[in-house]
């Protein structure tokens, strides 16, 4: 069971020899155990063979010994006659049979007499005891492995500065992947490196928001000078401001016209300007092949939230540069797998020269775009292929355009406007449109078995999805932002929730955010009062920008941060091992994704300023895992920017285990008690800024 905590914010002290600690815990078991038992184990925090063996197995010899004829000796005396011995044994056997029969009979009548609600109560109680036992064994197993487990993890070599597990193009090509599939995510055995990723030699802490939206440090991203000056498309244009900076000018009409472009799209939809997108029901936008995020950067000031997705790129990455600007982005591909978003997730999809060939593979990419688009949502496509003057001179381009136009019509998309190279479609509001198509029209409607609401990198489906969802609500009928985030009683019933549950969740996170900031502000401005050449803002202004919530539940942490006026965006991750409330998170007007935390998150190193994990460790230990707690924390270290913060809220034994592992990660860590709950703790960690030495 959990050991008494060493109270205080300085953390938990693991003192003494680990074997002594283990012996104290299981003294009765080990005194007569086999001499070859070993307390070492693999680094898997769920590989608790040694603890389970010590708790549940007893290989010691029989207590009373064995006689020459094989019978157990009598502990009360010896020398009784053979007949008396046989009579005694017979009596004992008969008594045992009677006891067993009575026990089984009583158990049977007790079982059939118990009510269903009582059984559920007992089962839940048993589950709680089981989870506590696993938690205790995990804690003991981690801490009993001795100093060898607390050895600091080595730093990765320079070639892994931008390392992303699961994305290895050269390896995928060697395995035979082609036709764009070599850029797909492939998480196989050995895809992780057991080392800590260091930043580049000249890495600098990103400029605070909103300055960092327009100016980033060249050394913080992997990009060549040629890639800077050759990025001539509408959403990629940028310039070198100085030797060590890249400047983006999305708001400058003289530079790249993103403001004009956004205004044009609004007019094509029938709005006065892009500020009216909110009134039209648009809040979240999926920007496919986003360039360097200029479209989303401009719309952010209009309260529109744009998620950038693009293929993995080893250099000049659209996703990496967008994230460095403090804008939402992740690696995502239409090549062969469905995106890790639920059906009916986004109000608008945008593709400006996004390098997706929508006419290829019998339109299956358009089917996936339709799946994630809400009813009444907009699909905006800007491409030379849509320019009338272009395809009139090129029959092949005209053929490709005709395919996309006709296929979109079969998807029940209405072409509402076409200007220059930009086309805008509107997805149907009514399911009846699909049944009114010509008989045999393709693609067909997905059956209920095919229409999975929240797929996780499932192969692309050649049928229209989302039509079986209870969430089929046109964007015009939803509350506009920010009222959308507070769903009413009837809306919550779609997700199996009561309004009281959401209210309690919201209240808890409002309190948590106030407490987090009261804890972090003194730490930041006492431990790091000022960086050279940098002025401190008034706390807590602009302390963080990119935030990762590893166990988002209903999106309450996101909601609390916005209500508190924090200038942040949150990647709400709903683990595949827990309840799936990702549709609720997205319908509230936030962004998020499904993810298995035994796999690497699809983003570049040094992405987030803060990582938040509330109850994640408890959730993970309730599953049969194929990864270790150390694997999980090493991945968090990869995602976290230097000087970034980690907040973990969980049960005491798990916080103790996590605190011990922070030594290996070289994090500064402090444990904080929670006055209202003695069974839980906070673990506040900061990742130090380690610099790689320049090689001459």
| Mean pLDDT of all residues belonging to the chain | 79
Three-state SS at 175: coil
Confidence tier at 50 by pLDDT (50, 70, 90): very low
Claim to verify: residue 512 and residue 614 sit in the same structural domain: yes
Residue pair 461/362 in contact (Cβ under 8 Å)? The answer is no
- At residue 496, the pLDDT reads 93
Q: Say if 583 falls within a structural domain.
A: yes
Q: Please give the Cα distance from 511 to 402 (Å, whole number).
A: 56
Average pLDDT over residues 624-646: 92
Please, what's the b/e burial string for 118-131 (b: 16 or more CB within 10 A of its CB; e: otherwise)? eeeeeeeeeeeeee
Domain boundary among 364, 395, 430: 430
Q: Say if 302 falls within a structural domain.
A: yes
Q: Say if 88 falls within a structural domain.
A: no
Q: Which residue has the higher pLDDT, 531 or 635?
A: 635
pLDDT at 67 exceeding the cut of 60: no
Confidence tier at 190 by pLDDT (50, 70, 90): low
Average pLDDT over residues 199-204: 94
Closest CA to 346 of 475, 488, 469: 475
**Which of 151-155, 173-177, 624-628 shows the lowest per-residue confidence on average (mean pLDDT)?**
173-177
Residue 603's domain comprises 483-524+540-687
Claim to verify: residue 309 and residue 424 sit in the same structural domain: yes
pLDDT at 54 exceeding the cut of 50: no
- At residue 625, the pLDDT reads 66
Claim to verify: residue 510 and residue 657 sit in the same structural domain: yes
pLDDT at 210 exceeding the cut of 90: no
Domain boundary among 388, 403, 430: 430
Confidence tier at 11 by pLDDT (50, 70, 90): very low
- At residue 542, the pLDDT reads 60
Please, what's the b/e burial string for 423-449 (b: 16 or more CB within 10 A of its CB; e: otherwise)? bbbbbbbeeeebeeeeeeeebebbeee
What element of type H or E holds 87? helix 82-113
- Could you give phi then psi for residue 374, rounded to 5 degrees? -70, 155
Q: Which residue has the higher pLDDT, 637 or 10?
A: 637
Question: Which CATH number do you get for residue 366?
Answer: 3.40.50.150
Claim to verify: residue 276 and residue 420 sit in the same structural domain: yes
Confidence tier at 82 by pLDDT (50, 70, 90): low
Average pLDDT over residues 257-280: 94
Claim to verify: residue 426 and residue 492 sit in the same structural domain: no
Q: Say if 582 falls within a structural domain.
A: yes
Claim to verify: residue 275 and residue 416 sit in the same structural domain: yes
- At residue 599, the pLDDT reads 92
Residues in Cβ contact with 283 at an 8 Å cutoff, skipping those fewer than 6 apart: 303, 304, 305, 347, 480, 481, 484, 589
Confidence tier at 65 by pLDDT (50, 70, 90): very low
pLDDT at 194 exceeding the cut of 80: yes
Claim to verify: residue 507 and residue 406 sit in the same structural domain: no
- At residue 487, the pLDDT reads 93
Q: Please give the Cα distance from 485 to 474 (Å, whole number).
A: 16
Average pLDDT over residues 382-406: 87
Claim to verify: residue 545 and residue 407 sit in the same structural domain: no
Residue 359, number of CB atoms within 10 A of its CB: 18
**Which of 136-140, 162-166, 506-510, 552-556 shows the lowest per-residue confidence on average (mean pLDDT)?**
136-140
Q: What is the pLDDT of residues 163-175, one digit of tens each?
A: 899 887 667 667 6
pLDDT at 532 exceeding the cut of 50: no
Q: Tokens in use for 247?
A: 């400047």
Q: Please give the Cα distance from 193 to 188 (Å, whole number).
A: 12
Number of domains in the chain: 2
pLDDT at 110 exceeding the cut of 60: no
Q: What is the pLDDT of residues 25-43, one digit of tens each?
A: 333 333 333 433 333 333 3
Q: What is the pLDDT of residues 71-81, one digit of tens each?
A: 333 333 444 45
- At residue 694, the pLDDT reads 66
Confidence tier at 101 by pLDDT (50, 70, 90): confident
Q: Please give the Cα distance from 202 to 204 (Å, whole number).
A: 6
Claim to verify: residue 405 and residue 496 sit in the same structural domain: no
Claim to verify: residue 424 and residue 488 sit in the same structural domain: no
Q: Please give the Cα distance from 458 to 450 (Å, whole number).
A: 11
Q: What is the pLDDT of residues 560-576, one digit of tens each?
A: 999 999 999 999 999 99
- At residue 37, the pLDDT reads 35
Burial-class residue 21 by CB neighbours within 10 Å (0-12, 13-18, 19+). Answer: middle
Q: Say if 493 falls within a structural domain.
A: yes
Domain boundary among 365, 398, 430: 430
Q: Of 60-69, 116-125, 363-372, which has the strongest mean pLDDT? A: 363-372
Confidence tier at 85 by pLDDT (50, 70, 90): low
Confidence tier at 7 by pLDDT (50, 70, 90): very low
pLDDT at 374 exceeding the cut of 90: yes
What is the edge-to-edge ordering of all strands in the sheet holding 215-217? 215-217, 245-247, 239-242
Confidence tier at 242 by pLDDT (50, 70, 90): low
Average pLDDT over residues 364-392: 92
**Which of 21-35, 380-394, 498-512, 514-528 shows the lowest per-residue confidence on average (mean pLDDT)?**
21-35
Average pLDDT over residues 188-203: 83
Give bridge partners of residue 593 from the DSSP assignment: 573
Q: Say if 662 falls within a structural domain.
A: yes
Under the phi-then-psi rule, with left for phi > 0, alpha for psi from -120 to 50, and beta for the rest, what region is 361?
Answer: left
Longest dimension (CA), the chain: 114
**Secondary structure (DSSP) of 179-219:** TTGGGS----TT-S-SSBPPPPTT--PPPPTTHHHHEEEGG
Q: Where are the alpha helices (DSSP H) in 221-289?
A: 225-229, 258-269
- At residue 181, the pLDDT reads 72
Q: Say if 439 falls within a structural domain.
A: no
- At residue 656, the pLDDT reads 95
Distances in Å between the Cα of 117 and the Cα atoms of 106, 123, 124, 378, 493 are 20, 10, 11, 48, 23
- At residue 622, the pLDDT reads 81
Claim to verify: residue 281 and residue 413 sit in the same structural domain: yes
Can you list the pairs that 520-523 forms with residues at least 24 positions away whose Cβ atoms lie under 8 Å? 520/645, 520/684, 523/670, 523/684, 523/686
Claim to verify: residue 394 and residue 494 sit in the same structural domain: no
Distances in Å between the Cα of 327 and the Cα atoms of 46, 304, 352 are 36, 12, 18
Average pLDDT over residues 530-546: 57
Q: Say if 643 falls within a structural domain.
A: yes
Torsion of CA 653, 656, 662, 663, to 10 degrees: -140
């Amino acid at each position: 069971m959990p050991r008494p905590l060493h109270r205080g914010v300085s953390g938990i002290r693991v003192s003494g020899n680990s074997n002594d600690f283990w012996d104290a815990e299981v003294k009765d078991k080990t005194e007569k155990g086999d001499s070859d038992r070993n307390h070492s184990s693999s680094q898997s925090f769920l590989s608790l063979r040694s603890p389970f063996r010590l708790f549940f197995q007893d290989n010691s010899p029989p207590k009373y010994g064995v006689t020459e004829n094989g019978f157990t000796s009598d502990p009360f005396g010896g020398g009784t006659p053979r007949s008396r011995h046989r009579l005694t044994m017979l009596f004992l056997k008969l008594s045992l049979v009677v006891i067993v029969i009575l026990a089984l009979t009583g158990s049977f009548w007790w079982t059939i007499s118990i009510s269903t609600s009582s059984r559920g109560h007992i089962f839940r109680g048993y589950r709680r005891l089981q989870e506590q036992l696993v938690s205790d064994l995990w804690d003991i197993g981690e801490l009993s492995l001795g100093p060898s487990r607390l050895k600091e993890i080595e730093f990765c070599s320079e070639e892994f500065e931008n390392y992303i597990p699961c994305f290895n193009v050269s390896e995928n090509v060697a395995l035979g992947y082609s036709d764009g599939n070599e850029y797909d995510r492939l998480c196989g055995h050995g895809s992780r490196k057991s080392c800590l990723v260091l930043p580049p030699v000249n890495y600098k802490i990103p400029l605070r928001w909103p300055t960092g939206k327009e100016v980033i440090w060249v050394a913080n991203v992997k990009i060549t000078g040629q890639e800077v000056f050759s990025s001539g498309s509408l959403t990629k244009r940028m310039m070198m401001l100085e030797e060590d900076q890249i400047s983006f000018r999305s708001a400058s009409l003289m530079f790249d016209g993103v403001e004009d472009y956004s205004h044009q799209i609004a007019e094509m939809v029938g709005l006065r300007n892009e500020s009216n997108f909110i009134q039209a029901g648009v809040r979240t936008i999926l920007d496919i092949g986003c360039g360097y995020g200029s479209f989303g950067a401009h719309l952010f000031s209009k309260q529109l939230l744009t998620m950038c997705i693009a293929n993995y790129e080893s250099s000049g990455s659209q996703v990496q540069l967008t994230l460095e600007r403090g804008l939402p982005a992740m690696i995502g591909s239409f090549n062969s797998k469905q995106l890790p978003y639920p059906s009916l997730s986004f109000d608008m999809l945008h593709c400006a020269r996004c390098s997706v060939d929508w006419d290829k593979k019998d339109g299956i990419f358009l089917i996936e775009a339709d799946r994630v688009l809400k009813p009444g949502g907009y699909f905006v496509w800007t491409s030379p292929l849509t320019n009338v003057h272009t395809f009139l001179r090129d029959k092949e381009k005209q053929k490709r355009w005709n395919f996309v136009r006709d296929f979109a019509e079969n998807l029940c998309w209405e072409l509402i406007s076409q200007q220059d190279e930009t086309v805008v479609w509107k997805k149907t509001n009514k399911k009846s449109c699909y049944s009114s198509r010509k008989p045999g029209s393709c693609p067909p409607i997905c059956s209920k078995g095919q229409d999975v609401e929240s797929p996780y990198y499932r192969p692309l489906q050649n049928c229209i999805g989302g039509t079986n969802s209870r969430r089929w609500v046109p964007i015009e009928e939803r509350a506009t932002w920010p009222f959308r985030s507070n769903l009413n009683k009837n809306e919550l019933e779609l997700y199996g929730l009561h309004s009281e549950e959401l209210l309690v969740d919201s209240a808890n996170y409002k309190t948590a955010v106030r407490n987090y900031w009261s804890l972090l502000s003194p730490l930041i401005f006492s431990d790091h009062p000022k960086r050279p050449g940098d002025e401190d803002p008034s706390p807590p202004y602009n302390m963080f920008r990119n935030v990762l919530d590893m166990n988002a539940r209903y999106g309450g942490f996101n909601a609390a941060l916005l209500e508190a006026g924090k200038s942040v965006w949150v990647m709400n991750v709903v683990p595949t091992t827990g309840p799936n409330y990702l549709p609720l998170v997205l319908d509230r007007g936030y962004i998020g994704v499904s993810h298995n935390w035994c796999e690497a998150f699809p983003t570049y190193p040094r992405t987030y300023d803060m990582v938040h994990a509330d109850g994640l460790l408890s959730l993970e230990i309730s599953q049969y895992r194929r990864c270790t707690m150390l694997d999980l924390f090493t991945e968090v270290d990869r995602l976290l920017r230097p000087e970034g913060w980690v907040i973990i809220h969980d049960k005491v034994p798990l916080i103790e285990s996590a605190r011990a592992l922070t030594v290996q990660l070289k994090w500064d860590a402090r444990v904080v008690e929670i006055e209202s709950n003695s069974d839980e703790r906070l673990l506040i960690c900061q990742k130090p800024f380690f610099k790689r030495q320049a090689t001459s």
